[in-house]
Structures are given as C-alpha cells and as structure tokens.
Amino acid sequence: MIVLVDLLLMLIDLTGSILSAILQTFLRPRLKCIDGELCLITGAGGALGRLFALEFAKEGAHLVLWDCNAAANEQTARLVRELGVRVHTYTVDLSKRRNIYETANRVRAEVGHVSIMVNNAGVVAGRRLLDCPDELLERTLLVNCHALFWMTKAFLPRMKEQNHGHIVTVASALGLFSTACVEDYCASKFGAVGFHESLTHELIAEDLNGIKTTLVCPYIVDTGMFAGCEIRKELRSIIPPLEPLYTVQQSMKAILAEQQMICIPRLMYIPFLARACFYQGDKCMLPFIKNIEMKTSNGHTKLC
C-alpha cells in the first residue's frame, strides 16, 4: 500500500512539473539577465555546444568551454571571441573522473567560480547491444550520465555557498521513453533525467532557491549523431528531426526563464504524460522511428 502511495505521489509530482513547464512555455515569463556570469559548457566543440556558446555569449556571459576535441573547441572559441566576450578553453575527457576534477580545479584557479553549468556533452555507441564492445557501452554511460555526478560535485559547492547558480542538463526525449537498438543511449539519458530530477528536489529541500535547474529533453536533433534516422511517412511532416539552432534557441528561452523542464518540440510532452499514465512495457513508445543509423569512428552502423 505504501509503495502504491509513493508511486501515485511520484506520478502527481512528474505531471505537475510537466504542466508547469507547458504553462511557462505559453505564458512567456520574464527572462533573467546573465551578463557577466561565468558559464561552463561541455561538448562545446560539437554542433549544439557551439550554438549554446554563441547564444550565451550574445547574452553577455563569459565562457569556459570543455571538449575532448581541442581543435573543434578552439574553433568554437574563435567564433565566440568575435562577439567580444571572454572565453577559456580546456581539453577534457568526461569519461575520466580525475580529469574532470583536475580541470575543475584549474578553472577555479585560472578563471573563477562557475555560476552556470551546461552539461551538454553526449555520445552514443551506435551498435546493437550484443555487437557492441563493453568499452563503448561504458563510455556512453560515463559521458552521458556519470559525468553529471562528477561535474556537479566539482562546481555545486561554490554555488551553494553563494546560493546562486544554474545547472542545465541536456538530456533527450529518449530519456523519458525508449525505443529499440539504442540501449546504451536510452539508459544513459534515463539516468541523466533521474539524476537531474533528484538534484532539483535536493536543492528545493535545502531551501537553496537561488540555484536553478533546467532539464532539456529534445527529440532527435539533426547533428549527425543519429544520421540516417528514418521516421514513418505519416508522421514525418509532424515530427521531423529538429534543427540544431531551433533546439538551442528554445532551450535558451527555458534557461533564461528559469523553467525547470522543456521538451522540444512541445508535442513530446504528450507521449511522456501518456507513458507516465498508461505505460505498457511491451510497447515501444516511439513506434514512428523505423530505423536509426549512427555515426561511429568506423563509419555507419545500421540499426533497428
């Protein structure tokens, strides 16, 4: 009986968060000023990371850019510097806990204290579960999920001292409901969503109302990570893959509005609520995805 009550309360809480996010989307709340804030973005050398960097720069934030690809990260930095903001780059492997902690110490010593943290970096193995080496599966979970714990432990203490900050988790719609053949990615994003929600509750319980959190759950974004993703013809015109710029712009509106959660597009709220209310374990929650082809270091691997 207690378990059923707990499940009911959790469902009510999740539904409330979704409805609140929908209302905030339509009511167009006042946007906060982040001019002069120090913003750290992981995966800054990738498509979404670069766009996030440019959008935060336009708002006047100073930037700390992390990526495992030094050349791509520096390219982002060059574009950002053209907007006249201060930017620092660091080459970091988010799958290595010690590397994260050591680089975080360097940031504090060389730049200052981070007040906005955008956990944007993400990877996918791109192979069927039984065909995928354990090392690739582990890397997906380390980068997409475990790194969130280490990043938060590195930068949250100072935010707590000042009761000021903002933590953004770029998850995925595939962290709210799953589909076949991307087990590593779905599992890691489910973990990211769970971590983010738990962290949000912890901050509320500690009355740290000056530290905001935003969970970003986009549908498939056309960045190349899910190259060749085919959507059923009858729904292709309704839910096409998202343009990266649109995804980031919608995310920025939610962040500046201090919105706790945003699903992109808004249509993604419907299957999430439906799953919460009427989940059937044997039903795929994204039946309109026919197959997915992922880019890997060895080329394309056809899935599903």
Q: Which residues contact 18 (CB under 8 A, 6 or more apart)?
A: 261, 263, 269, 272, 273
Other beta carbons within 10 angstroms of residue 163's beta carbon come to 13
Is there a contact between 225 and 294 (Cβ–Cβ < 8 Å)?
A: yes
Annotated catalytic residue 185? yes
Question: Which one from 90, 101, 185, 269 is the annotated catalytic residue?
Answer: 185
Residue of 292, 268, 152, 181 whose CA lies nearest to 216 = 268
What are the distances in angstroms from CA 114 to CA 95, 157, 206, 255? 21, 11, 20, 16
* Cα separation, 54 vs 294, whole angstroms: 27
DSSP 199-248: HHHHHHHTT-TTEEEEEEEES-BSSSTTTT-EE-HHHHTTSPPBPHHHHH
Is there a contact between 74 and 50 (Cβ–Cβ < 8 Å)?
A: no
Q: Is the dihedral of CA 282, 286, 290, 291 positive or negative?
A: negative
Is there a contact between 121 and 42 (Cβ–Cβ < 8 Å)?
A: yes
* Cα separation, 119 vs 157, whole angstroms: 17
Q: Which residues are catalytic?
A: 185
